[in-house]
Chains A and B, each alone.
Chain A
Amino acid sequence: MSQSAHDALDTFPKWIAHHAKVRPERPAMRFKDAGIWQEWTWAQMFDIVRAYAVGLTDLGLKRGDKIAIVGTNRPKLYWSIMAAQCLGAVPVPVYADAVADEMAYVLDHAEVVMAAVQDQEQVDKLISVKDRVPSLTQIIYDEPRGLRDYDHTRLHPIHAIIERGIAMQHEGPDVRGRIDRAIEAGKAEDMSIMLYTSGTTGRSKGVMLSAGGSVKACRDTVAFDKLNDNDEVLAYLPLAWVGDHYLNYGQALVAGFCVNCPESPETAVDDRREVGATFFFAPPRVFEGMLTRIMIRMEDASALKRSMFHHFIGVAKQWGEKILNGESVPLGARLHYALGEMLVYGPLKNVMGFSKMRVGYTAGEAIGPELFSFYRSIGINLKQLYGQTEAFLYVTCQPDGQIRADTVGPPAPNVEIKISDEGELLYKSPGMFIGYFKEPEKTAETMTPDGYVRTGDSGFFDKTGHIRIIDRAKDVGKLANGALFAPKYIENKLKFYPNIKEVVAYGQGEDFVTVFINIDMTAVGNWAERNNVAYASYQELANHPDVYKIIAGHVDEVNKSLAGEPMMARSQVTRFLILPKELDADDGELTRTQKVRRSFIAERYKPLIEALYNGAKEADISLEVTFEDGRKGSISGRVRVADVQGYPVFEEKAA
C-alpha cells in the first residue's frame, strides 16, 4: 500500500479496518484463558469490535461521550477502547488500583457516562461512589464472578453487549453499515483518548490527545524501530498509563502486530516467555525488580553456579556492551563472551522471557546507569526514551548504535526540542496534546507562546546532540554551600542495590544530603532467612541494626562513586534512615505509576526530616495509613538515624 493511502488512515479504528482487509488471518490479539492461549485474528477482532460498537450504541453511547476503562490488560477492555473510538466516543482509562476516592475524582472530572470494568472489585468501587459521579449511567463488566446477585438494571456483562450487537446486525440490514460510516466519519482532529497524568505534583489532569496526532506519533516510531506484523508484545502495563496505550495499543494498531494479554499480573513473566515477546517496554522499576529476583536466586544457588555466574557477569561487564554496539573486540574476548552466552546469559534471558527480544525500552523515570549497563551487557538491546503523557510519549529516543546510559538520545523523529533560558526542556511533536480537559489555564501555563510544550524537566544537549535530563526542574537545587543537589541522581544510584527499593533524598538549602530508604522486603527478607534474623514485620526488619549496617555499606559505596564525579562530589549522603513503612500509592506517597511525591513525603514525615538534620540518633513517628480496602489505621514507632562517613572531595584545579 502506498504512503499516501496510509496517510488517509488518520484514526485508530481506520487502522483496524485496514488490517482486517490486508492481513485478515494474522493474529491481532491473544489472551491466556484456562491455561491456553486463545487467539483472535484481525478479521475476527474487527467483527467483534463492530458488534460491540453496535451494542454500545444500543446502550446509549454517542459520539463525544466519555467512557471509563478500568482494569488490567484484557482483550475485552482493549476492545472497549476500540469500540468506543469507532463510535467517536472518548475512552478514559483509569488506574485499576486507584482507591474509590481517587476514581470518583477522575470519573466526575471526565464526565463519563459509562464505565467498562474488569470485575466485581471495580464494580463495587464504582457503586460506592455513584453519588459523586452523577453522569455515570451504565456499568459494563468482563468478569461475571460474584456479580450474579447484583441489580442488573444498569449493569451489563460485556459479552452480552457483543452478542446483542451481533444479533442486531442480523435484524437490520444497515446496522453494520452505520458503524462503518461512523468509523469513516472519524477525523484526525477528533479527541482519540483522554489519559490522566499520574500527578507527581498534585491532582491529576486529563490530557486530551487527538486521533491524527496519536497515529502520526506511532507511525514515526514504528518506522524508527522497524516494527512489523511479526512482532509480539505482552501487554502488562497499566491501561491508564500512556506507555501502555502507546506501545500495546497505538503501535500494535499501526504496525499490525499481535498484542498478548497475560493470564493475570502474577504470570506476566511466564507468559512473556511463552509468547516470545520481541518488543518490551518497562519503567526502570520493573528492571530493578527483575535484577533483584535474579540476585536472590543466585544467592541460593550452589557454589559452582554462583561462581560461574559472577565470573561471566564480569566478562559481560567488560565486553558485552562493546559487542552489542558493534565495536571492535579482540577474538579471545568474543569467544569468552560466547561461552558466557551459552552458560549464563542465554539461560538468564530465557528466565526473564527475553530470548527473542529485538528492542527493549525503558522510560518513565531515569534509570540507574549500572542497571542499564547490566541488561545491555548480557545482550539485551535495551534503550532509553524520554517522554510524557502530553507528548503521547516519545520526545527523545535512542537509535541503535548510539546508546549511552547517561543520555536519553536525540529528539525522536519529527520532534523539535529547544532548551529555555532557564534550562527547561521544551518540545513540539506530532503527538502533542490538544490541552488539559476543562483546565485551559493549566494548558496555557504549560505551553509557550510559540507553541512549545514545557516539560518541567531540566536538561541540555551534549556534544553529540543527545539530550541529557538532569532532573525535574523544580527538584534540582543547591545545598547551603552552593553545591549542586540532584536528588534523582543520588536516589537512582542507591536503588541499584537489590536491598533498596525506594529512596527519597533531601538537601535543598541544607548543609548536607540525607536520604529516606525503603528496604526491599524480598531481598532483605531472603537475607534475614539465610542469617537467622527473626522479624515479624517490615517495620521490625527495617529497624534491625544489621540491616542498617548493610544499607550503610551501600550508602558508603554510593558516596565513593559520587566523590569521583566533580559535579556531584559535594552532595554525598551524610545521614540516612530507613522508613518504618513502605511508601504506598494508597497513602498518596507515590503516584499510581510509582513515582515518589517528594514534597508530600517531606510534609508527612516531618519529624524524621528534623531528626536527620538536628543530629538526633533516634526519632519517633506516628502515621495514619490506608489499607487496601480504604479503611484507615495508624502505625507508630521509633526510627534510628545513621551517620555515614563521606569521602574527601578533590577540587578540580582550574587549568
Chain B
Amino acid sequence: MSAPVELKRGDVMLAVENVSLRFGGVKAITDVSFDIRKGEIRAIIGPNGAGKTSMLNCINGFYHPQEGRITYKGVKREKMRPYVAASQGIARTFQNVALFKGMTTLDNIMVGRTLKMNSPFFWQIWRHGPAMNEEVAHRRFVEEIIDFLEIEHIRKVPVGKLPYGLQKRVELGRALAMEPELLLLDEPMAGMNLEEKEDMCRFIIDVSSQYGTTIALIEHDMGVVMDLSDRVVVLEYGRKIADGTPAEVKANQQVIDAYLGVGH
C-alpha cells in the first residue's frame, strides 16, 4: 500500500471504478464509475431508489461493494470501517438528521472534534491540565463554525427542540468540525422551505470557497443541483446514465426520461 499523495485543485481525489453492490439478490448499484476532483462540488442525482445513498455509503466505508474498486487520494481502498474513512478526512451528514437530540448545539458540534482530541484519557476524565487546554482550542474552532453557520442564538439549545432546518445546519456544523477534505451531504435540503434552502445553498458554496472542501452531495431539488454543482452524475436503477456539467446533463435525453417518465 502506497502513501496518500498530495493533491492539487482539480486532481482526482476519489475514483469509483466499476462498482457493483448487491444485497442478496437485489442489485443496488451496477457497474458504476465516476470520480470526484479536489475542490469541486459534485452532485449525485437520480429518482428514488436509484442507489444514491448506497453509493455514498460505499464511499465512506459503511457498505462494501462486491465488485469494483474505490481509490481515495491515490490509495486503493481495502475493506474498512467508517471511522477509518472519518480519520482519513471524509465527513458526512445524513438524509434523516442523526444528531444527539438531548445535547446542545455546541456539544453536538464538539462531538465532531472527537477524532482530533489527543490528550491522555486520564486527563480527559478530569477535564483538567492538557485536556482543558486542548478543549479550549477545540472550542475556539467550534465557535468559528457556529459563527460561520450563523447559529449563535441556538448555541445552548438542545437540538431536539430546534426546527428541522436548523437541525440540518447543526449537522453540517458537526461534519465541518472534523475539518474534512471530502464532505458528503445526503440530501442537505430535503424537507426545507425555500428560504432555508437558499440559506443552505449559501453555506455550501461558502464552505467550498472558504475552506476549499471538496463536496459530494445528493439532492432531489433539480434547481439547487444545477445552480450549485460543478459536475453532476445521474443514477437510475443502480446504473449511471449520465455524467457531466449541469448543462450537459440537463440536455441528456435519458435523464429527461428518467425524471419525467417516458411512454412505453
What is the bound-complex CA distance between A149 and B206, given in angstroms? 11
The smallest beta-carbon distance between A33 and chain B, in angstroms, is: 8
What is the bound-complex CA distance between A270 and B155, given in angstroms? 11
The smallest beta-carbon distance between A594 and chain B, in angstroms, is: 20
- Residue B152, interface by CB 8 Å: yes
The smallest beta-carbon distance between A525 and chain B, in angstroms, is: 12
- Residue A231, interface by CB 8 Å: no
Asked whether A146 and B210 contact (CB < 8 A) given A34-B144, A35-B143, A35-B146, the answer is yes
B209 touching A148, Cβ below 8 Å: yes
What is the bound-complex CA distance between A270 and B153, given in angstroms? 8
Interfacial chain A residues near B202, Cβ < 8 Å: 146
The smallest beta-carbon distance between A100 and chain B, in angstroms, is: 17
Main SS at interface, chain B: helix
- Residue A414, interface by CB 8 Å: no
The smallest beta-carbon distance between A584 and chain B, in angstroms, is: 14
The smallest beta-carbon distance between B184 and chain A, in angstroms, is: 23
What is the bound-complex CA distance between A292 and B144, given in angstroms? 33
User: Interface segment, A90-98, A245-253, A260-268?
Assistant: A260-268
What is the bound-complex CA distance between A35 and B142, given in angstroms? 10
A263 touching B152, Cβ below 8 Å: yes
- Residue B147, interface by CB 8 Å: yes
Interfacial chain B residues near A36, Cβ < 8 Å: 143
A266 touching B206, Cβ below 8 Å: no
Interface flags, B146-161, vs A, CB<8A=1, else 0: 1110101101000000
What is the bound-complex CA distance between A519 and B206, given in angstroms? 36
Interfacial chain A residues near B153, Cβ < 8 Å: 263-264, 266-267, 270
Interfacial chain A residues near B152, Cβ < 8 Å: 35, 263-264, 266-267
Interface set, chain B 124-181, CB cutoff 8 A to A: 139-140, 143-144, 146-148, 150, 152-153, 155
The smallest beta-carbon distance between A640 and chain B, in angstroms, is: 26
What is the bound-complex CA distance between A146 and B147, given in angstroms? 13
The smallest beta-carbon distance between A627 and chain B, in angstroms, is: 9
Interface residues on A, range: 10 to 19
Neighbour of B210 across the interface among A35, A148, A267, A628, CB < 8 A = A148
How many inter-chain residue pairs (CB < 8 Å) link A and B? 32
- Residue A530, interface by CB 8 Å: no
Interface residues on B, range: 10 to 19
Interface flags, A128-161, vs B, CB<8A=1, else 0: 0000000000000000011011000000000000
Whose C-beta in chain B lies nearest to the C-beta of A36?
B143
Asked whether A35 and B148 contact (CB < 8 A) given A145-B206, A146-B206, the answer is no
Interfacial chain B residues near A34, Cβ < 8 Å: 140, 143-144, 147
Interface set, chain A 26-49, CB cutoff 8 A to B: 33-36
What is the bound-complex CA distance between A628 and B195, given in angstroms? 10
Interfacial chain B residues near A145, Cβ < 8 Å: 148, 206, 210
The smallest beta-carbon distance between B44 and chain A, in angstroms, is: 26
Asked whether A35 and B155 contact (CB < 8 A) given A145-B210, A148-B209, the answer is yes
Interface flags, A295-323, vs B, CB<8A=1, else 0: 00000000000000000000000000000
Interfacial chain A residues near B150, Cβ < 8 Å: 264
Interface set, chain A 245-287, CB cutoff 8 A to B: 263-264, 266-267, 270
The smallest beta-carbon distance between B221 and chain A, in angstroms, is: 18
Neighbour of B209 across the interface among A146, A264, A267, A270, CB < 8 A = A146
Interfacial chain B residues near A628, Cβ < 8 Å: 195
Interfacial chain A residues near B206, Cβ < 8 Å: 145-146
Interfacial chain A residues near B140, Cβ < 8 Å: 34
The smallest beta-carbon distance between B182 and chain A, in angstroms, is: 21
Whose C-beta in chain A lies nearest to the C-beta of B155?
A35
What is the bound-complex CA distance between A264 and B195, given in angstroms? 19
The smallest beta-carbon distance between B53 and chain A, in angstroms, is: 29
What is the bound-complex CA distance between A291 and B155, given in angstroms? 24
Interfacial chain B residues near A33, Cβ < 8 Å: 147
The smallest beta-carbon distance between A72 and chain B, in angstroms, is: 12
Interfacial chain B residues near A264, Cβ < 8 Å: 150, 152-153
What is the bound-complex CA distance between A33 and B202, given in angstroms? 22
What is the bound-complex CA distance between A263 and B151, given in angstroms? 10
The smallest beta-carbon distance between A590 and chain B, in angstroms, is: 20
Interface flags, B195-213, vs A, CB<8A=1, else 0: 1000000100010011000
Whose C-beta in chain B lies nearest to the C-beta of A34?
B143
What is the bound-complex CA distance between A589 and B219, given in angstroms? 38
What is the bound-complex CA distance between A266 and B153, given in angstroms? 6
The smallest beta-carbon distance between A539 and chain B, in angstroms, is: 15
The smallest beta-carbon distance between B232 and chain A, in angstroms, is: 23
What is the bound-complex CA distance between A181 and B144, given in angstroms? 40
Interface flags, B108-137, vs A, CB<8A=1, else 0: 000000000000000000000000000000
The smallest beta-carbon distance between B54 and chain A, in angstroms, is: 34
Interface flags, B208-224, vs A, CB<8A=1, else 0: 01100000000000000
Interfacial chain B residues near A146, Cβ < 8 Å: 202, 206, 209-210
Interfacial chain A residues near B147, Cβ < 8 Å: 33-34
Interface set, chain A 1-48, CB cutoff 8 A to B: 33-36
The smallest beta-carbon distance between B9 and chain A, in angstroms, is: 13
Pull 19 A–B residue pairs with CB atoms less than 8 Å apart, ordered by A.
A34-B140, A34-B143, A35-B139, A35-B143, A35-B152, A35-B155, A145-B148, A145-B210, A146-B209, A146-B210, A148-B209, A148-B210, A149-B209, A263-B152, A263-B153, A264-B152, A266-B152, A267-B152, A267-B153
19 further A-B contacts with Cβ under 8 Å, apart from A148-B210, A264-B152, are A33-B147, A34-B143, A35-B139, A35-B143, A35-B152, A35-B155, A36-B143, A145-B148, A145-B206, A145-B210, A146-B206, A146-B209, A148-B209, A149-B209, A263-B153, A264-B153, A266-B152, A266-B153, A628-B195
* 7 closest cross-chain pairs (CB), A and B: A266-B153, A34-B143, A263-B152, A267-B153, A35-B143, A264-B152, A267-B152
Which residues of A approach B to under 8 Å, CB–CB?
33-36, 145-146, 148-149, 263-264, 266-267, 270, 628
